[in-house]
Structure formats: structure tokens, C-alpha cells
Structure 1
Amino acid sequence: MKKRGTWLEYKVTDLAPVYVNEFLIQTAGASKGVIHHYRKANGLKVNGTILSAENPLVHNGDIVSLEVFKAEKNDIVSEFMELDILFEDDHIIAINKPAGMKTHPNSPGETGTLANALAFYYMMQGEDAAVRHVHRLDEDTSGAILFAKHALAQAIMDKALQEHFISRTYVAAVQGVPRPKKGTISQPIGKDRHHPSKRRVSTGGQPAVTHYEMVQSSSSGAVLKVQLETGRTHQIRVHLSYIGNPIIGDRLYGDPSHLIERQALHAAHIRFHHPITNEKIDLTAPFPADMKRWEP
């Protein structure tokens, strides 16, 4: 694989002869949807010839190209804010999100979110990329969050997330000591019909699985490492409250705390394979000042 201008080039080798769509699925990790996306935008070539609806056989030595870096319109308002960048290359960027900041706007023209800051950053770097989040963090949760820089990277990362190939480890300070100290909470989560922004364990909800392990404890509570198998809204907060150990400072699912002004939850680690190079990437997000006391 080679970058040439706004294109990524893939040389056909062992798989030939094979249809170009199948080649892109097997070699580039592209989905049928993302291949269609590039076809519609005249962004798929074989040996320099643009393809529209054709799906020809390709042979050893042929060059298949996708225009993944084509300039894109960004509908998000650009706004300067400092970013704590954990990793960046041409394809993805990982950021340590501060607490008190939404991941993305919920309405047109909204500002003050991480997506606004990233749009500004792209603009200053001369990158005409849309802001594409791979996953989200709650407004008052800090830590590592991933964004894709183009449609191919996003499609690959979306699939990896769906198939549980992106490992996300959180650190949560909770009230009380969980029993058992290590376990799995497998309870469906749905909307709380009595509260517009709240979720609850519900038999009619979506499947949700959370793994936790206690790493330290005191008379007032415990520190847990938590891993998500699914990614439901407020999942960790709902599940820990459900087992009787709400997160310290969580006003929605627990109680306010004099120790911290928000829920004591930090996305500390994220591990995944790079969507283009397949390199193993393991990132750690430094703890913010308000959670230093609970850093394992």
C-alpha cells in the first residue's frame, strides 16, 4: 500500500485473478458500502482508469487506487481549543478528551465540543477532512477517544468496534466494594421512561456487557478497571449503579460528592489494530487532576 497524492494505491499480488471489489474487501478491509462510496465520487481506479459500475478482474501487478484523501466538506463549526493528542497519522487521530466537553454537537451550529476543536485543528493543519468519531464518551467522562480521518478508516474501525476488536479500559472510582471483586455484568439497557436523559437496566433494552475488576479499595469505596464489550449509552454508569456500586460523583445514577464535581470515570487505555497498516496500537490517556487520587 502506498500513498500517492490524495490516493491510496494497492498492488495486486497473490490473490489474482480476482474481481476488484473482492480484492478491496480482502486486501484493504473495505466494506461494500465504502467501495460504493468511492465509486460514486469517481474515487476508484484500476491502472489509472476510473471505474463507475464495472467490477473487472484484476491481475498480478495491477494497481487498484482509492481516493481516500479527497477534500471533504465539514459541516461542524471550527473552534479553537487545545487538544491533547495521543496518536495521529494520515488515517486516524486519538485524543485525550477532558471532562465537561461533549464528543460532538447535537444540533447544527453548536460549539464547545471536541468535534469543533478537531475541525479547527484540521483546518490549521491544512487537512480537508470531515470529523468522524469512531466511538463516544459522555460529556463528563475524560479519556481516550478515536476519530477516523477518511471513510475507509472509519468503515474498518466501525467494524472492529462492532466485532469487539477495539479494547477500551476505563478506571472508575465507586461507592462501596463490589461483590464479587471481579465479574461480568450482562444486563440489557434501555431508556428510562420517567427521565428523558437517563438509561436503566430493562428486559426490553439492548444487550450490554461490562467486565470489571477491583484494583484497590478503602473504607469509602473502590477503584475498578472496567472493560466494555458493548457500547450502550451510559453503560458503565448504569451497570455499576445496578450492582449497588454507583460511580463517585455521578449525579444521575448515584450521588454528588465533595471529592469530585463529575462522575469519577476515565477512559484510560485503548488498544486496536491500525485500520490501514494493521500495526498494533496501545494508547494510554494521562489521568486528569481531579482523578489523580484514584490512579492505579
Structure 2
Amino acid sequence: MTPFPMSPYAPPDADALVTLYEDGAMIIADKPAGLLSVPGRAPEKAFCAASILSERHGAVLTVHRLDMDTSGIMVFARTKVAQSSLSRAFQERKVTKAYLAMVEGRPSPASGTIDLPIAAHSLQRPLRHIAEDGRPAITHFETLKSTSDKSLIQLTPETGRSHQLRLHLKALGHPILGDRFYGDGESAKRLMLHALNLRFRHPESGQHVHFTAPKPDCFL
């Protein structure tokens, strides 16, 4: 297997990671594009969202991840009990997620559902591809705004496969701007994909909670 060529890790400063909410069970943060969610294998990749939050708030525990190039909302647990509860909610698809993406062109129809299975690429990691024998992957999309050559789309995934949104939009014929894996990496200064909000039950109180990471200024 041949690794896909990767750029050197050049993350933004720690201040770019914004804490949106915290309590005794969890922390909600807005991760900037270019920052790893959790530590990578190489020593220089130890600097990440989890390490910044641990330094800022005390030890945090991983619940889920965002791709390094994706910005937006993340939840981290502060106790083992909360981590178990939140992780189970993600696994059982009890967490509602919404993303924003800037894509090439104007999708037609303007809304719909993409139901295409995804598998790991056999020759180049960490790439994925659409494959009949892949794992089920479903994404709902709605166009919010368009110009002559690009559109702002809201995405609601039912599943959480690696690179799902990036692959599904490529398959739709409208790759995400700035996608160096599946589109034209030079079409934007960053991957134009943002995790907008999360809805789930609080791991301690059981109440429904809803958190939003503001839309980046570079989006339509």
C-alpha cells in the first residue's frame, strides 16, 4: 500500500481552538481547520485539539474525531462515564450532526439523499472510495445558497464513514472546494467543510442539548 502524499503538519495556534461550553461531564469546542483532533503517531503531531483542551481545562477523553482539514464542533468527555455514554450515542446514531460545505457548481436537484457505500482504498491510504462491497453510507443534502460557480450546502449524514461527505459530494459531481484528496486542492485556501452543530442527550442529565459552531467567514 502506498501512502498518499501528505503536506507537513503546520497547525494554527492554540488560541484558534475555541471552547464553546464546559461542565463537569463534557467540553464542546470549535476546532479550526488544519488542527488534528487527537495526537498523530509522529512526535510533532502531539499538538492537537485534545492536547490543547487538556492543557486548558484538565484531562479530556476522546469521543469522536473530525478530519484535520475540517473545522467545527467537537465534544470531548471529562469522565469515563460521560465518554462511555457519548461514544455509545455516536455508535448508535443517536447524535444528530449537520455540516456546511462550499462546493463546485450548483447541484441539481438542489436537495436529496446520497446513498453510496464506502470502502478503504486498497492502494493509497488514507483515501477511501465508493465501492459496492463497502460499508453503507447515507448523506442528506440541501443547497442553501449559490453563485454562478459555487454553492453552500448543508449536509446531514446518517452514517459516519471516514471521508463520507467528501466522497459523496465528489460522486454527486460537486466536490468540496479546497479538497486535496478528492477535488481541486487549489480551489480554496482550506477544505471548505465545517461541522456546524451537534444534537444529543446530555451524558449526565439525559436532557436534549444542541450546540453550534459559527459558520466561518470564508463561507457564503
TM-score, structure 1 length as denominator? 0.66
Aligned match of 2:22? 88
* 1:103 and 2:41 matched: no
- Structure index of larger Rg: 1
* 1:121 and 2:56 matched: yes
State how far apart, in whole Å, the 2-side matches of 1:163 and 1:179 are. Answer: 32
Q: What code does the residue aligned with 2:124 have?
A: H
What secondary structure, in the 3-state scheme, does the structure 1 residue paired with 2:56 have? helix
* 1:270 and 2:198 matched: yes
After the TM superposition, which residues 1-296 of structure 1 pair with which residues of structure 2 at under 5 Å, given as runs?
81-82=14-15, 83-107=17-41, 109=43, 110-123=45-58, 129=59, 131-258=60-187, 260-289=188-217, 291=218, 293-294=219-220
Percent identity of equivalent pairs = 39
| Aligned partners of 1:251 and 1:262 also within 8 Å | no
Structure 1 segments unaligned to the other structure (5+ residues): 1-79, 124-128
| Aligned partners of 2:33 and 2:191 also within 8 Å | no
Once the two structures are TM-superposed, the CA of residue 187 in structure 1 deviates from its matched residue by: 1.1
| Aligned partners of 2:169 and 2:175 also within 8 Å | yes
State how far apart, in whole Å, the 1-side matches of 2:190 and 2:119 are. Answer: 23
| Aligned partners of 1:98 and 1:288 also within 8 Å | no
Q: Identify the structure with bigger relative contact order (alpha carbons < 8 Å, sequence gap 6+).
A: 2
Q: What code does the residue aligned with 2:92 have?
A: E
Once the two structures are TM-superposed, the CA of residue 108 in structure 1 deviates from its matched residue by: 6.7
RMSD: 1.6
State how far apart, in whole Å, the 2-side matches of 1:102 and 1:161 are. Answer: 20
1:78-113 Cα shifts (integer Å, max 9, x gaps):
xx9224111110001110000000101122744221
State how far apart, in whole Å, the 2-side matches of 1:177 and 1:288 are. Answer: 20
What secondary structure, in the 3-state scheme, does the structure 2 residue paired with 1:205 have? coil
Once the two structures are TM-superposed, the CA of residue 155 in structure 1 deviates from its matched residue by: 1.3
Q: What code does the residue aligned with 1:81 have?
A: A
TM-score, structure 2 length as denominator? 0.88
State how far apart, in whole Å, the 2-side matches of 1:273 and 1:113 are. Answer: 26
Once the two structures are TM-superposed, the CA of residue 179 in structure 1 deviates from its matched residue by: 2.4
| Aligned partners of 1:169 and 1:269 also within 8 Å | yes
Structure 2 segments unaligned to the other structure (5+ residues): 1-12
Q: How many residues align?
A: 206
Aligned match of 1:60? none
